[in-house]
Amino acid sequence: MIKLYMQMATSSIRRAKWRSLLTMLGVIIGVTSVVMIFALGEGLKKQVSGELKDLGTDSIVVRSGNIIERNKDGKVTKVNLRDVFTQSVLTDKDTEQVKAVNGVSFAAPIAFISAPVANDDGKALSSDSVIIATTPQIREALNRDVETGEFFTTPELSKNLAVLGPDVARELFGEESVVGRIIKIKNTEFVIRGVMTRAKPSPLDLVNTDYNRAIYIPLGAGKVLNGGTLAIREISVKLAETNNTDTVVKEINKVVLVSHGGIQDFSVLEAKDFIGVLDSVFGVLTTFVAAVAGISLFVGGIGIMNIMLVSVSERTREIGIRKSIGATNQQILGQFLVEAIILTLIGGIIGVLVSLTVTAGLRLYTEIHPYIEPRVVGIALGVTLVVGIVFGIIPALKAARKDPIESLR
């Protein structure tokens, strides 16, 4: 019988192509938005975790604020997003202690300074660049190197030297070979020592720092510039080996905890913790937006129901004929229910196809790389099926209950 219902449904849908398409539009939009939201979220997550992997599993970061809570095995159990934005409590002493921990090969503090920057002619730098006060080990800790010139050294930590990200050099001087020239930070002159290698663009730039637009200055010089004190945002750490990360993380935590008087007002994060943090951020976001998209799917379902109700009353005579030649109520119900389900399912499939096309387009022409999980497609089509059944049942019942004699009149 199902086969018969499907034949009837397809012929009826084919007969009213435009109306069917318009009916499906709600479902198409709903499914597309649900799938795209998940695809964008998943794509961003993949890109970010890919970059974190590039950064290496031997990278660790010590940050202010109790961002994550761990259980005994070192697994993240809770993420405190609020603590990401707390005031910095890390000190130079922490950096030195971390550096001394067994298994740590490099550790560099990172402090952000916001100050106006200009070239020697007084041409100002746009505000979306960042000044990082740090130590020479930052190169190893972040896996970055200088392209031209060289980085400042430890004895030079109080000198007014600067190493520019390539984009900063370009913006200020129109070229990247600018070693030896002068920039002004807060009207203080800094001599350019080197220019960094270009870093790959990253979606993390949105939430973090674009290192191509960074200006590195020595920590001591930064302190003077900032009026004597400087809050260390994080300590970037490079491990000697990758196979004992957890042990080193625990050790660093222990050492810093002691110097902070036993208060866990900082976090030691490894790459996989970042992924955990991102997961929880994206998770919340994705769920919220998907709920909104789900509503549009619901509205699409109402559209289907609406048109099916119209269709049932339009086809009253047909229903009467079918009953008079021996269709049972159940068979009429089946026909209209299957029609509604097929209508929504086609809408769902078109929605998935649209999502695939949009995804392909975004991947080809933009930096955004959405990723459609097969699971999401399955869920979307499953939900569509449910929508079809839920919103198809009322019109189908109405059709089935029609009195044949009345319908034929």
Partner 1 sequence: MGTVIDLQKLSKIYGFGESSVVALDAVDLIVEKGEFVAIMGPSGSGKSTLMNLIGLLDRASHGVYKLDLKDVSKLRPRRRARVRRDHVGFIFQSSNLIPGLTVLENVALPLAYKGMSQTKRLKKASETLEKVGLKNREYYFPRQLSGGQAQRTAIARALVNWPSIVLADEPTGNLDSATSLQTMELLKEIHKGGNTILMVTHNSELTRYATRVIYMRDGQIEYDEKLKGDEAIDLAEVPAAVEYEQELLGKKAPKRKKNKGKGRRK
For residue 59, the one-letter residue type is S
Q: Binding to partner 1 by residue 321, rule CB under 8 A? A: yes
Sign of CA dihedral 48, 51, 55, 57: positive
Q: Binding to partner 1 by residue 2, rule CB under 8 A? A: no
Out of 323, 336, 376, 392, point to the residue binding partner 1 (CB under 8 A): 323
| DSSP E strand boundaries for 27-145 | 59-64, 68-70, 76-79, 104-113, 117-119, 130-134
382, 384, 387, 388: CA torsion to nearest 10:
-100
Q: Binding to partner 1 by residue 10, rule CB under 8 A? A: no
Q: Binding to partner 1 by residue 325, rule CB under 8 A? A: yes
Compare residues 1 and 284 and give the one whose CB is closer to partner 1: 1
Out of 74, 149, 294, 404, point to the residue binding partner 1 (CB under 8 A): 404
Q: Binding to partner 1 by residue 310, rule CB under 8 A? A: no
Out of 330, 353, 357, 361, point to the residue binding partner 1 (CB under 8 A): 330
Half-sphere exposure of 314 (CA within 13 A, CB side): 9
Instruction: Choose the binding region for partner 1 from 134-142, 169-177, 318-326, 351-359 (rule: CB under 8 A).
Output: 318-326
What mask, x for binding partner 1 by CB under 8 A, covers residues 73 to 92? --------------------
Q: Binding to partner 1 by residue 324, rule CB under 8 A? A: yes
Out of 208, 259, 328, 357, point to the residue binding partner 1 (CB under 8 A): 328
Instruction: Choose the binding region for partner 1 from 92-100, 146-154, 249-257, 315-323 (rule: CB under 8 A).
Output: 315-323
Q: Residue 400 CB, nearest distance to partner 1 (Å)?
A: 10
Q: Binding to partner 1 by residue 331, rule CB under 8 A? A: yes
Instruction: Choose the binding region for partner 1 from 46-54, 320-328, 368-376, 378-386 (rule: CB under 8 A).
Output: 320-328
Choose among 162, 50, 61, 52: nearest CA to 104. 61
Q: Residue 399 CB, nearest distance to partner 1 (Å)?
A: 14
DSSP conformation class of 124? B
Compare residues 264 and 313 and give the one whose CB is closer to partner 1: 313
CA–CA distances in Å: residue 49 to residues 70, 273, 275, 289, 363: 20, 10, 6, 22, 17
CB 98 within 8 A of CB 256: yes
Query: Which tokens is 13 given?
Result: 């849908």
Instruction: Choose the binding region for partner 1 from 5-13, 176-184, 295-303, 337-345 (rule: CB under 8 A).
Output: 5-13
Q: Residue 403 CB, nearest distance to partner 1 (Å)?
A: 9
CA–CA distances in Å: residue 96 to residues 218, 269, 287, 344: 16, 18, 42, 63
Which residues are within 8 A (CB) of 401 and not within 5 positions of it... i.e. 6 or more apart?
329
Distance CA 75, CA 69 (A): 8
Binding site for partner 1 (CB under 8 A): 1, 3-4, 7, 11-12, 15, 317-318, 320-331, 404-405, 408
